Amino acid sequence: MKTAITEMFGVQYPIICGAMMWLCKPTLCAAVSNAGGLGNLTAGNYATEEEFREAIRQTRQLTDRPFMVNVTILPSVHITAEHHKMYLKVCAEEKVAGLEISGTPLDKAVGREFIDILKKAGVKLFHKVGSVRHAVHAEKAGYDGIYAAGIEEGGHPLDDDVTTMVLTPRIAETVKIPVVTVGGIADGRTLAAALALGAQGVMMATRFVATKECEVHDNIKQEIIRRQEFETALICKSIGLQGRAIKNKLVEDVLAVEATGGGLEKLIPLIAGNRVKAAWESGNVDDAPMMMGQSVGLIRDIPTCKELMERLVADAKEDIDRVQGIF
């Protein structure tokens, strides 16, 4: 495959793993990169500079191919502005291939000088956005690419609530830098569709949880196979931190608190990061908000990352050939 993304990073496939708190660590990151795409190391998993540098080192021991680092700049109890600056400084010093920034853009969060330092170090900057206006801002600020994340995505979709189907072409027709589709992608058909919509690549997260290399309890992987596309819910809209998670007991509790006007104080114990970490490890799928996208409805097996990506690419080609036959 040849797109602006494969050319920019020198990778085989324009398939990128999205950030996943607690899950995007060296093993999964290297597995995606070794399979020809771009893995993700999520910086928020590491509390200190030493731990973060060690994670980069470990990833580089497992793969000699490029990978992305995510820095999430959203309100958080544990990850402070000092953490954000530390992550960015380390990424520049370590000359990582690329950065996935989500939430507040770098110029507003930490200042333009960080963009200059990262660009000088050769780090490619991508911002994950849910609107055309945020894509335009990122392009003006000097980013190298845009992740266009529709409302289908797991994690924290923007509360503009625009679908991937509309967001990708709107952003692709507006900015000149490459656009990657995020949200609703999990198989060859959706990869083919994203390319047809004007994307230069795709990002997936939920799909990568159900792979052999993802270090999560097997119950979670089995639950992903069982769940269908209508079994996710949007939570925490009331506190300005909308998130998409699979429907479970805990999500019902969160929605009940929100419906009665319960604010941050009542919600924090339910959505706390350590609760999520414990649930991923124990496999208790009712105990925490388990972030997942509507793409969960397209996932039916637990392949290796290599098997998954080779299948996606072969199926996408078949789909595009089939569609070409229509005209």
Ligand X SMILES: Cc1cc2nc3c(=O)[nH]c(=O)nc-3n(C[C@H](O)[C@H](O)[C@H](O)COP(=O)(O)O)c2cc1C
DSSP secondary structure, 285-313, as one string: TTSS--B--GGGGG------HHHHHHHHH
Site string for ligand X, 195-234 (x = CB under 6 A): ---------xxxx---------------------------
Within residues 5-24, the interface with ligand X by CB under 6 A covers 18-21, 23
How many other CB atoms sit within 10 Å of the CB of residue 322? 11
Minimum distance between the CB of residue 12 and ligand X, rounded to whole angstroms?
20
Which span sits near ligand X by CB under 6 A: 30-38, 180-188, 259-267, 311-319? 180-188
Site string for ligand X, 135-174 (x = CB under 6 A): --------------x---xxx-------------------
Cα separation, 42 vs 136, in Å, equals 25
Nearest CA to 180 out of 166, 163, 197 is that of 197
Q: Residue 158 or 320: which CB sits closer to ligand X?
A: 158
Quick one: which of 6, 33, 72, 190 contacts ligand X (CB under 6 A)? 72
CB 94 within 8 A of CB 122: no
Nearest CA to 157 out of 193, 131, 194, 190 is that of 131
Cα separation, 302 vs 112, in Å, equals 42
Quick one: which of 33, 34, 59, 102 contacts ligand X (CB under 6 A)? 102
Minimum distance between the CB of residue 292 and ligand X, rounded to whole angstroms?
5
Quick one: which of 293, 297, 308, 313 contacts ligand X (CB under 6 A)? 293
Name the packing angle between helices 264-271 and 273-282 (round to 10°).
30
When asked if residue 44 is in the footprint of ligand X (CB under 6 A), the reply is: yes
CB 18 within 8 A of CB 182: yes
Give the binding site for ligand X (CB under 6 A): 18-21, 23, 42, 44, 70, 72, 102, 128, 149, 153-155, 182-183, 185, 204-207, 291-293, 295
